[in-house]
């Protein structure tokens, strides 16, 4: 990642693992969503009981190595691209220890959405500027 990512830490719970003892593949989507929500609520300074002004419309995840119960996962999230009404994010998940071993790499696409009118709308310039300010911090 070239720019400063937003970091979310999650401890792997026993229920996150499958019969093989490693984090089950669908759980990484939960981690990604948690990281996205933490980043955006913080960036927009919105209380967590308020809806974000965008919705997640597409996700993908590549599994790189195993994470197990008790591992602490650091999720490094950043906005990578803006479209007219959407933006894309990257979420790099790694073990939060000296190794920094990558366990998964996920991507998500989000669309600006007005819940009242049930319509999409262009990405506001203020939102783009807030992301640029945060991610350009050294």
Which tokens is 126 given?
A: 């203020």
The C-alpha atoms of residue 59 and residue 20 are separated, in whole angstroms, by: 25
User: In the numeric block, which tokens belong to residue 55?
Assistant: 């919705």
Confidence at residue 3, expressed as pLDDT on a 0 to 100 scale: 79
Specify the pLDDT at position 2: 61
Which segments of the chain have a pLDDT < 50?
1
Return the beta strands (E) in 51-101 as ranges. 54-63, 72-82, 86-95
Sign of CA dihedral 64, 65, 70, 76: negative
Facing residues of 8 across strands? 75
């Amino acid at each position: 990642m070239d720019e400063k990512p937003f970091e979310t830490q999650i401890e792997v719970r026993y229920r996150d693992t499958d019969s093989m003892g490693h984090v089950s593949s669908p759980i990484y989507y939960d981690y990604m969503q948690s990281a996205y929500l933490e980043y955006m609520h913080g960036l927009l300074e919105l209380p967590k009981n308020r809806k974000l002004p965008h919705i997640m419309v597409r996700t993908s995840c590549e599994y790189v190595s195993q994470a197990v119960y008790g591992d602490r996962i650091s999720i490094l999230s950043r906005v990578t691209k803006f479209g007219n009404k959407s933006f894309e994010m990257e979420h790099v998940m790694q073990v939060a220890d000296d190794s920094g071993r990558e366990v998964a790499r996920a991507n998500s696409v989000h669309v600006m959405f007005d819940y009242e009118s049930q319509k999409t709308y262009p990405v506001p310039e203020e939102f783009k500027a807030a992301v640029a300010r945060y991610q350009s911090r050294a």
